[in-house]
Amino acid sequence: MISKAKSKFIKSLQIKKYRKQEQSFVVEGKKSVSELIRSDYEVTLVVATDEFLSGQRAYLSDRIEVIESTDLELSKLGEFQTNDAALAIARMRPNKPISIDEGEFGLMLDDIRDPGNLGTIIRTADWYGISKIIASEHTADIYSSKAISATMGSFLRVDIFYTSLSDYVDKTSQNVLGAFLEGENVHSCSFGKGGILVIGNESHGISDQVSRRVNQKITIPKYGRAESLNAAVATAIILDSLRRTQKKD
Amino acid sequence: MISKAKSKFIKSLQIKKYRKQEQSFVVEGKKSVSELIRSDYEVTLVVATDEFLSGQRAYLSDRIEVIESTDLELSKLGEFQTNDAALAIARMRPNKPISIDEGEFGLMLDDIRDPGNLGTIIRTADWYGISKIIASEHTADIYSSKAISATMGSFLRVDIFYTSLSDYVDKTSQNVLGAFLEGENVHSCSFGKGGILVIGNESHGISDQVSRRVNQKITIPKYGRAESLNAAVATAIILDSLRRTQKKD
């Protein structure tokens, strides 16, 4: 049974202001919670059914508060109403600078506003072996429940650094790639050995400050009539093209 | 100014039961509403600002009820709180059988439950020139606001037919493709001239009834550590691979 105070605390973390104040965030779902407690994140609380907990005892250190609960109680606690009931609170990581090294690819998110898109981009990056993301300050918060949930656990393997993109691109000597209407065909272009792939905002694309530094413009060919692609979908197609080119090299 | 009764009616269409009863659905956002009134959908109501309406007069026939409103009022009316304020109600289309002809590609959705995923899949299909979708009866409702919104207008160009997939696959003589762990590499396989690409459920993949009829198993190669890809992302990568192969033929 979970106390009213604890329940209120967990719910408060759905709001960015309180996440920041507590430096803590919520992870929902059995699979994600089970991966979380095996990771090097500092976990402070796990709320789950007895059935789930019994399989996890070896990973639940004394420093983690563990509360046994029911599916019903858990479904009221989290943001998502699922039968996949387990919930944890972990400490946020500091927003540390990330450098994308020579011979390595990273992503740059230019105001990705939708937390679901952000999470799906992180999951896709993880699939394609990309673990470093630079995000603009107006990009959605990775620690929101929606974003964490959409990563399907990939937030544990992909680092994200929120910063001013115009400052960042001014300093980097890397190849900077971005999707534009009039670029090279993504099916036939050469991607080089490393670089930073910029993903633009869902409505406005890549901002002026960043686009003036994009030195390789690429285009995803269209065969039908949609005006544009979803940001996570575009990311996936470019990363898939990039990896298949590297294989050929 | 919009009446309380009208406002209540619009809100009721967020619920599937009422959409079915009224055979009507809501379209939100200036771009989508503007495309809708130019389409052959039967539009019954448009609520928008004077500024938006003034550019659309030529397309607003006498049979469409037009209500002038404010951004504030509109933001309370729709499901999405945006500044992109326009809203319309249109008549649903009958659930008519679709046949995917020889030499043509279509999609089959095997219980895509998330309306955002459904909408993004439709948008992606439209980008890749695919206009026919067969969906299982438990696939999310295309007429929900979330699905319509995620299509970004592509629901106007892509037809969807809800039916029993096991019956459908038993009758078709087409090549049936699906993503599995142990399939041919999507980067190097041959897709043929036409067929039906099955997209599995977000958690459980392709159901047994459908998978026994999949005669071409394909795999998206993984370069990192995510366990799986989002359904819309996987659709996009396969369709992109398919189109680039056809170009080479």
Helix B231-248 with B115-127: angle, nearest 10 deg: 10
Contacts of A230 (CB under 8 A, 6+ apart): A117, A202, B120, B123, B124, B150, B232
* C-alpha pair distances (Å), B78 with each of A154, A158, A244, B143: 33, 35, 43, 14
Contact between B127 and A222 using a beta-carbon 8 Å cutoff: yes
The pLDDT tens digits for A5-48 are 999 999 999 999 999 999 999 999 999 999 999 999 999 999 99
The pLDDT tens digits for A51-86 are 999 999 999 989 999 999 998 888 888 877 666 789
Q: State the pLDDT at residue A82.
A: 65
Q: State the pLDDT at residue A247.
A: 58
Q: Decide if B232 touches A, using CB distance below 8 A.
A: yes
The pLDDT tens digits for B59-85 are 998 999 999 999 888 888 887 766 678
Contacts of A128 (CB under 8 A, 6+ apart): A236, A239, A240, A242, A243, B222, B223, B224
* Parts of chain B with a pLDDT under 50: 248-249
Q: State the pLDDT at residue B77.
A: 86
Q: State the pLDDT at residue B81.
A: 60
Q: State the pLDDT at residue A205.
A: 94
Q: State the pLDDT at residue B249.
A: 44
- CA atoms of B183 and A94, how far apart (whole Å): 41
Q: State the pLDDT at residue B118.
A: 98
Closest chain A C-alpha to B226 CA, distance in angstroms: 5
Q: Tokens representing B136?
A: 């299982």
Give mean pLDDT, residues A191-219: 95
Q: Tokens representing B30?
A: 């200036």
Rounded to 5 degrees, φ, ψ at B109 are -105, 115
Q: State the pLDDT at residue B83.
A: 61
**Could you say which DSSP state residue B12 is in?**
H
Q: In a 3-state reduction of DSSP, which class is residue A119?
A: helix
Contact between B229 and A187 using a beta-carbon 8 Å cutoff: no
Closest chain B C-alpha to A5 CA, distance in angstroms: 31
Q: State the pLDDT at residue B71.
A: 87
pLDDT reading at A224 higher than 70: yes
B233 closest CB neighbour out of A224, A232, A247: A232
**Amino acid identity for residue A73 in this structure:** E
Q: Tokens representing B86?
A: 């326009």
**Amino acid identity for residue B68 in this structure:** E
Closest chain B C-alpha to A65 CA, distance in angstroms: 28
Q: What is the pTM of this model?
A: 0.95
Residues of chain B found within 8 Å of residue A222, distances taken between Cβ atoms: 127-128
Q: State the pLDDT at residue A80.
A: 72
Q: State the pLDDT at residue B154.
A: 97
Q: State the pLDDT at residue A249.
A: 44
- Check the CA dihedral A231-A33-A141-A156 and report its sign: negative
The pLDDT tens digits for A118-149 are 999 999 999 999 999 999 999 999 999 999 99
Q: Decide if A223 touches B, using CB distance below 8 A.
A: yes
